[in-house]
Chains A and B, each alone.
Chain A
């Protein structure tokens, strides 16, 4: 049926993760714990968002930090990247992080600069 089944000595990567009932129990326990953590973080975010009066900059950093925590849990536990080999983790995470932090840095710096220029232009136009 499968091309690779013809191939002698092909390691069955697809079957590597198969486990029995006894091994499944701690796995499921971990998954549910991650779910509760993410639920608590989300509820916390909503409460901060609608109730508290942080200063604006503190609020931004809190939200971005909590988002990154959630993203880490999804990628590492739900997508099982934490169980893969170190090399694969690097191959997935490293290029992505490198490019995106750089892009975000450029976009935001440029946005702030554009606002300065825009405000200056508006002031000039208004004074003429």
Chain B
């Protein structure tokens, strides 16, 4: 390597005080996200292992997730499509909040952040609704209470819905286990993302960012929020589409 190339490479890695010329907080947010992404990836790889091991016996998502709120009948993938749209939309509002932060526009930042929080809450609520219908199945709530009280679900051949031990869609309990584990883990990330965004909104409204002279905190919260969206893109594909 020539001396010139070594110099430019070194300049690329070296940031003066902080590596790569990004601030300490943002760099470590990235490293945290990489480690979190590794956790999610290993969960999804374990899912892929089970899926291939029990290929053929696995539940068909088109026949499991067919409910839509306030609408009777079977609508495969419609609601989860709505949830995906909602999360992508909230990702866009978040990135617009970051962009408004780059212009030091406090009013626009708070409006976009508020919209992001609303989108996140809609997503968490949708996931609650979906879990409820996945757990209860076609049964009435009373029927499900009977299962819980009497423990009939293990011997009942007409069992509807799903839990960690048994589910109506396939012989394999692993299907329910992985669904609850991975979507639950993701849902918890969305929930904590909403909390972080609410804290950010309060800080913006109190003028903390203006006193600092920059809105980089919004950018860091935004990184986390986009990561949540990124994970959902993969969960959506591997759980609902394939």
Query: Which residues of A does B touch, CB under 8 Å?
Result: 1-2, 4, 10-21, 24, 27-28, 31-32, 35, 38-39, 42-43, 45-46, 48-50, 59-60, 63-64, 66-67, 70-71, 74-75, 77-80, 84-88, 91-92, 95-96, 99-100, 103-104, 106-108, 110-112, 114-115, 118
Contact = CB atoms under 8 A, between A and B. Distances in A.
Interface stretch (B115-123, B144-152, B165-173, B222-230): B222-230
B23 A32 contact: no
Interface string B59-91: 000100000000000001110010011001101
A84 B22 CA distance: 8
Given A35-B88, A112-B52, A115-B53, A67 B233 contact: yes
B103 interface: yes
B125 interface: no
13 contacts: A2-B212, A14-B23, A14-B214, A24-B102, A63-B241, A71-B233, A74-B230, A77-B95, A79-B230, A95-B34, A96-B37, A107-B48, A108-B52
Contacts, number: 166
B57 to A, nearest CB: 10
Contacts of A42: 81, 84-85, 88
Contact of A86 (B12, B15, B18, B241): B12
Interface size, B (range): 35 or more
A71 B46 CA distance: 20
A111 B91 contact: no
Nearest to B37: A96
A13 B42 CA distance: 34
Interface of A is mostly: helix
B157 interface: no
Which of B78, B96, B99: most chain A CB closer than 10 A? B99
B111 interface: no
A118 B53 contact: yes
A91 B20 contact: yes
Interface string B37-51: 110011001101111
Contacts of A1: 211-212
Contacts of B226: 74-75, 78-79
Contacts of B45: 100, 103-104, 106-108
A4 B54 CA distance: 56
B185 interface: no
B130 interface: no
Given A39-B88, A60-B242, A85-B12, 19 more contacts: A1-B212, A2-B212, A10-B17, A11-B16, A11-B21, A13-B23, A18-B102, A18-B214, A45-B237, A49-B241, A74-B230, A74-B233, A78-B222, A84-B22, A88-B19, A92-B30, A95-B34, A99-B38, A104-B48
A2 B60 CA distance: 55
A35 B27 CA distance: 25
A67 B88 contact: no
